[in-house]
């Protein structure tokens, strides 16, 4: 099956999800540790439905959540990407990340998040980029802070309290855009 690589960093490849990713994604969504801050784990059938939605989103939006592959061992280790979220009545571009727990605490989510932030600003003209994070989700807040974001406001998302972490375009440009991101970025041209 044709695999569309969207971004590449020092240690990761982000490529479009395909139906072949069902087993890996279902294993991720079935892990209670990974899903600790989500309403529930997902069954295989629920994962299939979600995977179909995520794949359809590439055509609808030109971006989405991607299979995250660890270059060193070639394994599918999570799904990270860009999503649109409505916060306080406004559409915002969000960086999202989820990794297999065997790969936590190596800076990999930060590496993906920075590449996605840079891509979001460069390719989609976003005035700011956010991450919606539950107050209890300290690991995710650590990633957002390392992604240059600050805790802006609070909101309710999916019926749960969330913090809005955000970085404004001016802040990102003021830091030289890609200065803290060492990886190569390859923008997906397949939708043109």
Ligand X SMILES: CC(C)(COP(=O)(O)OP(=O)(O)OC[C@H]1O[C@@H](n2cnc3c(N)ncnc32)[C@H](O)[C@@H]1OP(=O)(O)O)[C@@H](O)C(=O)NCCC(=O)NCCS
Give the interface with ligand X as residue ranges (CB under 6 A): 34, 37, 97-99, 104-110, 133, 137-140, 142-143, 146
The encoded tokens of residue 181 equal 């991101």
Q: Least separation, in Å, of the C-beta of 113 and ligand X?
A: 7
Choice between 154 and 170, CB closer to ligand X = 154
- Cβ atoms of 71 and 11 within 8 Å: the answer is yes
Distance CA 131, CA 67 (A): 19
Read off φ and ψ for residue 105, nearest 5 degrees: 65, 35
The 10 Å Cβ neighbour count of residue 106 is 12
Choice between 16 and 79, CB closer to ligand X = 79
Choice between 61 and 146, CB closer to ligand X = 146
Q: Least separation, in Å, of the C-beta of 115 and ligand X?
A: 12
For residue 40, give every residue at least 6 positions away whose Cβ sits within 8 Å of its Cβ, in sequence order, or none.
none
Choice between 28 and 189, CB closer to ligand X = 28
Environment class of residue 152 by beta-carbon count within 10 Å: exposed (0-12), middle (13-18) or buried (19+)? Answer: middle
Q: Residue 72's closest CA among 21, 14, 113, 11?
A: 11
DSSP category for residue 10: S
Choice between 11 and 190, CB closer to ligand X = 11
Q: Least separation, in Å, of the C-beta of 114 and ligand X?
A: 9
Q: Least separation, in Å, of the C-beta of 71 and ligand X?
A: 15
Q: Least separation, in Å, of the C-beta of 127 and ligand X?
A: 21
Comparing every residue's Cβ against ligand X, the nearest one is: 142
């Amino acid at each position: 099956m044709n695999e569309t690589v969207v971004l590449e960093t020092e240690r990761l490849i982000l490529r479009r999800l395909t139906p072949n990713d069902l087993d890996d994604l279902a294993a991720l969504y079935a892990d209670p540790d990974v899903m600790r801050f989500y309403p529930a784990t997902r069954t295989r059938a629920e994962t299939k439905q979600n995977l179909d939605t995520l794949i359809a989103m590439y055509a609808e939006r030109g971006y989405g959540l991607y299979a995250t592959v660890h270059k060193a061992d070639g394994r599918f280790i999570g799904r990270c990407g860009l999503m649109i979220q409505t916060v306080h009545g406004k559409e915002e571009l969000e960086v999202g990340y989820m990794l297999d727990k065997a790969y936590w605490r190596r800076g990999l989510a930060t590496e993906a998040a920075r590449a996605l932030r840079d891509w979001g600003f460069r390719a989609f003209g976003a005035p700011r980029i956010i991450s919606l994070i539950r107050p209890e989700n300290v690991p995710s807040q650590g990633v957002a802070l390392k992604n240059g974001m600050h805790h802006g406001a609070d909101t309710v998302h999916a019926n749960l309290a969330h913090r809005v972490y955000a970085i404004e375009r001016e802040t990102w440009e003021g830091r030289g855009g890609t200065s803290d991101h060492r990886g190569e970025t390859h923008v997906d041209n397949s939708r043109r």
